[in-house]
Structure 1
Amino acid sequence: ITDTEGVMVEKGGTLLKGLEISVAEAEKRTGKNAVSIQETYTVYLIETRAVDNVSEVANPTPDSLWRRYSEFEIFRNYLLVTYPFVVVPPLPEKRAEFVWHKLSADNMDPDFVERRRVGLENFLLRVASHPVLSNDKIFYSFLTQFFVLCLLFCVGFFEMKHYGDELQSVISQLLRVRARVADRLYGVYKVHGNYGRVFSEWSAIEKEMGDGLQSAGHHMDAYAASIDDILEEEEHYADQLKEYLFYTEALRAVCRKHELCQFELEMAAQDLISKKQQREELATGTVRTFSLKGMTSKLFGQETPEQRETKLKTLETQIEEGEEMVKERTAECDEFVKNAWEDIERFREQKDRDLKEALISYAIMQISMCKKGIQVWNNAKECFSKM
Structure 2
Amino acid sequence: MTDNEKFDMFDEEGSEITNENKPGEIKKPESLLDALEINISDPERRTTTKGSLKMQETYIVYMIESKPRDLENIDPMLEEVTAVWRRYSEFELLRNYLIVSYPAIVMPPLPEKRTTFIWTKISTDTFDPEFLERRRVGLEVFLRRICGFPKRDEIVMAFLKQEEGWRETVMATGYQAKADSWLRTINASMRVKQPDSSFEELKDYATEMQSGIAAVLKARSKIADRIYGLFKIHANYSRIFKDWGAIEDPKMADALRKVSLELEKMSSSIDLLMEEEELYAEQLKEYHNFASSLKSIVKKHEALQYDVEYVESQLMSAHVEKKQVSSGVDKGFNFGGMRAKLFGGDTPEQKEIKLAKIDENIHMLEQSAETKRTAASTFSSEAKEEILQFKRRKQADLWEILTNYVILQIKMSKETKATWTRFKAAIQAA
In the superposition, the TM-score normalised over structure 2's length comes to 0.54
Structure 1 residues 297 and 313, CA gap change in structure 2 (3 angstroms): same
In 1, the alpha carbon distance for the partners of 2:214 and 2:205 equals: 14
Q: CA deviation at 1:214?
A: 1.1
Matched with 1:200 is: 242
For the 8 Å contact 2:266–2:416, the answer to whether it is kept is: yes
Deviations along 1:45-98, one digit per CA (max 9) or x if unpaired, are xxxxxxxxxxxxxxxxxxxxxxxxxxxxxxxxxxxxxxxxxxxxxxxxxxxxxx
Structure 1 residues 301 and 200, CA gap change in structure 2 (3 angstroms): farther
Matched with 2:79 is: none
Is 1:162 the counterpart of 2:204 in the alignment? yes
Is 1:35 the counterpart of 2:78 in the alignment? no
Read off the aligned partner of 1:182 and give its amino acid letter.
A
Q: Please, which of 211, 215, 220 is the counterpart of residue 173 of structure 1?
A: 215
**1:206 partner SS:** coil
How many residue pairs get aligned? The number is 245
In 1, the alpha carbon distance for the partners of 2:344 and 2:286 equals: 68
Q: CA deviation at 1:330?
A: 1.1
In 2, the alpha carbon distance for the partners of 1:380 and 1:152 equals: 69
In 2, the alpha carbon distance for the partners of 1:161 and 1:262 equals: 15
Q: Please, which of 301, 307, 310 is the counterpart of residue 264 of structure 1?
A: 307
Matched with 2:233 is: 191
In 2, the alpha carbon distance for the partners of 1:162 and 1:230 equals: 35
Matched with 2:365 is: 322
Q: Please, which of 309, 317, 320 is the counterpart of residue 352 of structure 2?
A: 309
Structure 1 residues 294 and 224, CA gap change in structure 2 (3 angstroms): farther
Matched with 2:267 is: 224
For the 8 Å contact 2:238–2:260, the answer to whether it is kept is: yes
Q: CA deviation at 1:367?
A: 0.3
In 2, the alpha carbon distance for the partners of 1:32 and 1:185 equals: 44
Read off the aligned partner of 2:238 and give its amino acid letter.
G
**1:153 partner SS:** coil
Between 1 and 2, higher relative CO (CA 8 Å, sep ≥ 6) is seen in 2
**2:322 partner SS:** helix
In 1, the alpha carbon distance for the partners of 2:263 and 2:330 equals: 91
Is 1:240 the counterpart of 2:270 in the alignment? no
Matched with 2:298 is: 255
Structure 1 residues 384 and 265, CA gap change in structure 2 (3 angstroms): same
For the 8 Å contact 2:12–2:395, the answer to whether it is kept is: no
Q: CA deviation at 1:200?
A: 0.8
For the 8 Å contact 2:209–2:291, the answer to whether it is kept is: yes
Structure 1 residues 296 and 215, CA gap change in structure 2 (3 angstroms): farther
Matched with 2:20 is: none
Matched with 1:278 is: 321
Which 5+ residue runs of structure 2 have no aligned equivalent?
1-5, 14-192
Q: CA deviation at 1:309?
A: 2.8
Q: CA deviation at 1:304?
A: 4.2
Alignment of 1:1-387 (within 5 A): 34-37=9-12, 152-207=194-249, 208-298=251-341, 302-387=345-430
For the 8 Å contact 1:276–1:319, the answer to whether it is kept is: yes
Q: CA deviation at 1:306?
A: 3.7
For the 8 Å contact 1:34–1:159, the answer to whether it is kept is: no
Read off the aligned partner of 1:232 and give its amino acid letter.
E
CA RMSD, aligned part only? 2.1
Deviations along 1:171-226, one digit per CA (max 9) or x if unpaired, are 11011111111111111111111110111111111124111111111111111111
**1:35 partner SS:** coil
Q: CA deviation at 1:293?
A: 3.2
Q: CA deviation at 1:300?
A: 5.9
Which 5+ residue runs of structure 1 have no aligned equivalent?
1-30, 39-150
**2:233 partner SS:** helix
Read off the aligned partner of 1:251 and give its amino acid letter.
L
In 1, the alpha carbon distance for the partners of 2:324 and 2:402 equals: 66
For the 8 Å contact 1:172–1:245, the answer to whether it is kept is: yes
For the 8 Å contact 2:311–2:369, the answer to whether it is kept is: yes
Q: Tell which deviates more after alignment, 350-359 or 292-301.
A: 292-301
In 1, the alpha carbon distance for the partners of 2:239 and 2:221 equals: 28
In 1, the alpha carbon distance for the partners of 2:337 and 2:263 equals: 92
**1:346 partner SS:** helix
Percent of aligned pairs sharing the same letter: 35
Deviations along 1:352-375, one digit per CA (max 9) or x if unpaired, are 011011101110111001000001
Read off the aligned partner of 2:294 and give its amino acid letter.
L
Q: CA deviation at 1:302?
A: 3.6
Larger Rg: 1
In 1, the alpha carbon distance for the partners of 2:345 and 2:283 equals: 71
For the 8 Å contact 1:161–1:255, the answer to whether it is kept is: yes
For the 8 Å contact 1:234–1:362, the answer to whether it is kept is: yes
For the 8 Å contact 2:12–2:392, the answer to whether it is kept is: no
